[in-house]
Amino acid sequence: MRRQTPSVSAATSEGRLFYAATAFLILLAALMFAAGSAVAATLADPTKPDPSIEGQPNEASGQDLYVRGFYPEALAEWKRAVEVNKDPGAAFRLGEEHFDAKVVERDVETALKYYFIGANGGDRRAQMDLGSMYDKGWGVPQDMKESARWFEAAARQGLESSQYNIATMYEDGVGVEADKVKAYMYYQLAIEGGFPRFAAEAIERLSESMTPAEIKQASIMARDFKPLTREESAAEMAAADAN
């Protein structure tokens, strides 16, 4: 029996499959080489940030070093991020590290310097911590009005702990004019954000001194709440300081 010869169409199809498979393998090899080069770069000098992190220097590139235990290098990376990119997140991390004294000696003055940069840049964590500094009088004269200002800035970005803090201030009239409706709104937002039971206890207590109409108004305000972006918060801070 004569062996059959593959048809032209079958041979062409097999050729296409062969070349497609070859091209895929070449592409895969190139991707593996690129990934290997990035890993090799990190292994060659582990004190450098992961090359795959975009937009260096920034908070993330410093955090990459920090979690690997390269603390001086992480701090230096965050400093570069602030100096080069005005990164508010990196500024917050510098403020936090200089205040918490986990890997450097405590330096409240330096912590405040970076907290201010981060807070004015719209980082809600820096705004929260700056509110605490004014609340406690740490490194600055105690100023409840300034404390409330920064707590509310962070609260308006949706930070639950700051929403609880500013709610207590509106409830008690500390640093701001007493406002039960706003207090209730912020307590409710904190609860919805998963803040611990303190907010639930506070809103139950507060509701006893409010009318049904006030509670309804506060609930509507909480429902319609839309957190600001970091950029929007920074713009608000700049506008307030300009006035």
Q: With respect to residue 93, please indicate whether it lies within any of the assigned structural domains.
A: yes
Q: With respect to residue 120, please indicate whether it lies within any of the assigned structural domains.
A: yes
Q: What is the pLDDT of residues 79-130, one digit of tens each?
A: 999 999 999 999 999 999 999 999 999 999 999 999 999 999 999 999 999 9
Find the CATH number of the domain harbouring 95.
1.25.40.10
Whether pLDDT at 36 is above 90 = no
The verdict on whether omega for the bond into residue 49 sits within 30 degrees of 0, i.e. cis, is no
pLDDT at 55: 60
Q: With respect to residue 151, please indicate whether it lies within any of the assigned structural domains.
A: no
Q: With respect to residue 182, please indicate whether it lies within any of the assigned structural domains.
A: no
CA dist., res. 2 & res. 101, Å (int) = 86
pLDDT at 48: 73
Q: With respect to residue 86, please indicate whether it lies within any of the assigned structural domains.
A: yes
Q: With respect to residue 115, please indicate whether it lies within any of the assigned structural domains.
A: yes
The two structure tokens encoding residue 212: 């049904």
Q: With respect to residue 225, please indicate whether it lies within any of the assigned structural domains.
A: no
Q: With respect to residue 4, please indicate whether it lies within any of the assigned structural domains.
A: no
Average pLDDT over residues 53-66: 88
Which range marks the domain in which residue 67 is found?
Answer: 56-143
Q: What is the pLDDT of residues 118-132, one digit of tens each?
A: 999 999 999 999 999
Number of domains in the chain: 1
Q: What is the pLDDT of residues 184-206, one digit of tens each?
A: 999 999 999 999 889 999 999 99
Residues 86 and 48 sit within 8 Å (Cβ to Cβ): no
